[in-house]
Amino acid sequence: MNQIFASCPKGLEELLAGELESLGAEQVRLTVAGVYASGPLSFAYQVCLWSRLANRILLPLDKFDVHSADDLYEGVKFIPWYEHLTPRQSIAVDFVGSNDAIRHTQFGAQCVKDAVVDTLQARYNDRPDVELRNPDLRVNVHLARDKANVSLDLSGDSLHKRGYRTAMVPAPLKENLAAAVLVRSGWPELSKQADAALVDPMCGSGTLLIEGAMIAADIAPGLNRRKFGFHGWSQHDADMWQQLRQAALERCNVGLSKELPEIRGYDKDTRAVRAAQENIACAGLDKQIKVIPKPMSAFKKPTHTKIDHGLMVCNPPYGERWGEMEELRPLYQDLGELAKRECPGWRLSVITGNAELAGELRLRAEKKYTLFNGTIPSQLLLFQLRGEEEQASAKEARKQEVNRKPELSEGAQMFANRLKKNERKLNNWLKKSGVSCYRLYDADMPEYAVAVDIYNDAVHVQEYAPPANIDEQQANKHLTEVRQALRHLYPDSGKKLFFKERRRQKGDNQYQRQNSNERQNNRSRDNSVFTVQEGAAKFEVNLAGYLDTGLFLDHRPVRQMIAKMAKGKRFLNLFCYTGAASVHAALGGAKSSLSIDMSNGYIGWAGRNFHLNNMDTIDHALLRADCLEWLAEVNDRTSGKASNSANSEYDLIFLDPPTFSNSKKMESVLDIQRDHPGLIQQAMAILASGGTLVFSNNFRKFTMAESVEQSYQVTNITNKTLDPDFQRNQKIHNCWLIQHKN
């Protein structure tokens, strides 16, 4: 009788214990991430061959105290290694754990290796080699609480490596965890019914499908493995092993000869489908499993055969960061709706590492199990989907509840109260001014580190980096409360809620398009691009495509001031972005204008804003250029002359550069604190006598250089350029009027 230790992912201990008992285990005892069990050698072989859940099968050799490196060495050396291997074989040592004496696993492994080698050297005057990748025998040592457990690894490589997965996709589900999901979901019983089905609408590399087919066909998960750890063990019984393997092979042949349930997988990624097909073929199950490229939204229940029972199972992405979570909410919502619509009466099984996203399924779980996907704490959620009659009844009940708003958590209610308070403060100003695009909230409460802007009936939320004393998990909780509060306050804007991460950006990153995932986060919705009104001006805004929307709301008073100053003037807009200030200048009666930006995208956007406002693009020109280079060239052309050419003079200039830019499109690096004296000097060189330079930036620690104040007439008008919606955060920008001295 031998005692073995079968390790497994945390959360599967109970399932594994039941599996071991079904394989003939005696004296079963559970511990964290594993199960102890006793049985003859044939039992250990059966576990290696048939366990769908275990990682490794260890044969304990000895256990002893370790208070020093010598204790470890002597304890290992005391074991009669000559009973387990010969000097002609190779070994590897897996060492896990530490204590005050053994601080590093590599040092611990070296001590163990030395003890094993020295024991055999003393007996045979010969020593085994160390082979880390493919040893004949693998020694496992676990050190905890000053005790070392020394074992032989009978499995060799982890048992989750069945040998069929040759093609990979990102973040695959390990085979034994996939098997556990299916066992918990009741698939072993369901698979015995010919009119059942197993489907995975996001199948990835096909692991759940392959494990499901192996269960249905009674295929031993270790049947196709060429090598186990016990193959290099001196006490290995080859005849016994061959008999057990042959019996498993016969069961496999019988299982594959039967009619199996329908097993199908789908994925929108053709590369994932090809990987799944390759793995399925390698497992010898290409006749039992069908996988086709199809987005989840196009899924339909198979109709070519009668299916009365089914299991829909999937492992959707988890989304560890808030931006990723927001991107995935619609995916989980669609999954829940799809399951209800297409598979009434079926079971649904979802494994996820994100409890908040699981709530987006909007289904009530029949059972929940905690397990670990690698190091990620996860949940397995099991649902019994209502039949069609039950769904109709539930739909009628929901109609009766439609006007009831869900209760908010304490944090969400607190955030909602702050938004309502801010709305009340702004209400009179909004009515008098006619402003429809404004900032409602700007990190008023540090723990809720977001800015909330209203654009007509749309809500635009930007995340800031949370305070250093708030960890990521807590920050994500606060962001979820933000979303709940906004949905509660603005129920009619459900499809016009836009969420973005807005951490500190480098260079001109804030002006760049969001990546494909971020755009999908906001669904790339048609309603993300629309026209807003600001006084007499119309502007296109895009609430999904970029970090910024195309309209800097804090500059609203500056633009209105420019409109009043521009009548009959020649206007220059440097770093023009989407040309909003130029539109106001033109509508205010500017004689002409030139708007310059180095981004083709924003010059095009400015052109659309000009078109919205019926501006003449001959008198009001757009130029794609590096503003720094353009200023230098204009100044070079006019240097040495008594006065600037009329073509190079402007009566009104708006200079609103970024705080810092190292764009690849620029030859130089712009640091506004360092470079503003030279930049202002070049702009003033083309400012007509009696003209005005409006200089602005959003560097919160900005200080105007004394050389600028000595050379020109400088007036700080920052306080006059902040409307009530930005009074709570008066460091949003700085603004000056600069003129030539008389």
Write the pLDDT tens digit of every residue in 634-657: 988 876 554 444 457 899 999 999
The CATH number that applies at residue 37 is 3.30.2130.30
User: What pTM value is reported for the model?
Assistant: 0.62
Residue 406 in domain: no
Domain co-membership, 316 together with 464 = no
> Chain centroid to CA 526: how far?
24
Domain co-membership, 709 together with 612 = yes
The CATH number that applies at residue 501 is 3.30.750.80
Domain co-membership, 390 together with 446 = no
Residue 462 in domain: yes
The CATH number that applies at residue 380 is 3.40.50.150
Residue 586 and residue 595 in contact, taking contact as beta carbons nearer than 8 Å: no
Report residues of the chain scoring pLDDT below 50. 322-323, 402, 503-525, 642-646
Q: Is 636 exposed, middle or buried, given 0-12, 13-18 or 19+ CB atoms closer than 10 A?
A: exposed
Residue spans of alpha helices (H) in 645-722: 672-685, 706-711
CA–CA separation, 72 vs 111, rounded Å?
A: 7
For 442, the enclosing helix (H) or strand (E) is strand 437-442
Domain co-membership, 520 together with 614 = no
Residue 166 in domain: no
Residue 209 in domain: yes
Domain co-membership, 575 together with 457 = no
Residue 605 in domain: yes
The maximal CA–CA distance of the chain, rounded, in angstroms, is 107
Three-state DSSP state, 174: coil
Domain co-membership, 74 together with 199 = no
Domain co-membership, 556 together with 510 = no
The domain in which residue 675 lies consists of: 552-739
How many folded domains does the chain comprise?
4
Structure tokens at 722: 């902040």
**Angle between helices 410-433 and 472-489 in degrees, nearest 10:** 50
Residue 240 in domain: no
Domain co-membership, 117 together with 15 = yes
Residue 598 and residue 631 in contact, taking contact as beta carbons nearer than 8 Å: no
Domain co-membership, 149 together with 179 = no
Q: Which residues contact 399 (CB under 8 A, 6 or more apart)?
A: none
First CA to last CA distance, the chain? 105
Domain co-membership, 210 together with 328 = yes
CA–CA separation, 585 vs 451, rounded Å?
A: 28
Residue 661 in domain: yes
Domain co-membership, 458 together with 352 = no
DSSP-assigned letters across all residues of 523-535? TT-GGGEEEEEET
- Tracing tokens 């073509």 back to the chain, one arrives at 647
The whole-number pLDDT of residue 536 equals 94
**Angle between helices 41-50 and 238-257 in degrees, nearest 10:** 40
CA–CA separation, 299 vs 320, rounded Å?
A: 27
Domain co-membership, 361 together with 440 = no
- E strands, 145-209, where? 147-153, 197-200
- E strands, 21-74, where? 26-31, 34-39, 57-65
Residue 341 in domain: yes
Q: Which residues contact 278 (CB under 8 A, 6 or more apart)?
A: 166, 167
Looking at 98, 120, 153, which one is the last position of a domain?
153
